[in-house]
Amino acid sequence: MKKVVLASVFVAAALFTACEEDSSGTAPTVKKYSCDINIDAGIIALRTCVEAEDQVKVNSICDGVNALFSDAGKAGSECPGKSVKKCDGEKDGISYTAYFYDESLAEQSCDDLAAQASSFGF
């Protein structure tokens, strides 16, 4: 399970953000996209969600998850509430937010989760 949890952190770290201008061109309109990941494969259970402003990147995350676990990633416009851990991060100047719903992760720091992901080369 730890590898799957770390995989969700890697996924979050790979997100890119973008700003979309509204039709008036006067102020940027920020639109969020999400990939809600819910894996229940016997001994592996994971519930996490990632958000960013880049729809293409978020959809590619869901596609990657779904390639490994059929229909485990659902694209949407925001992550559901009631997470036990929220990690805002940035990698290479790119912002993302990862939400975790597994109680076993509640006490881990976001820095620790990111460091674990980095140790795997992400």
47-74 confidence digits (pLDDT tens): 989 898 888 888 888 998 899 888 999 9
* Distance in angstroms (rounded) separating the CA atoms of residues 51 and 4: 18
- Tell me what the mean pLDDT of segment 113-120 comes to: 63
pLDDT tens-digit readout, 94-110: 678 989 998 988 899 99
Q: Helices 2-13 and 55-68 meet at what angle, rounded to 10?
A: 160
- Whether the CA torsion 106, 110, 115, 116 is positive or negative: it is positive
pTM of the model: 0.71
**pLDDT at 3 > cutoff 80:** no
Give the DSSP H or E segment for 110. Answer: helix 110-119
CB 113 within 8 A of CB 7: no
**pLDDT at 121 > cutoff 70:** no
How many Cα neighbours within 13 Å face the side chain of 37?
33
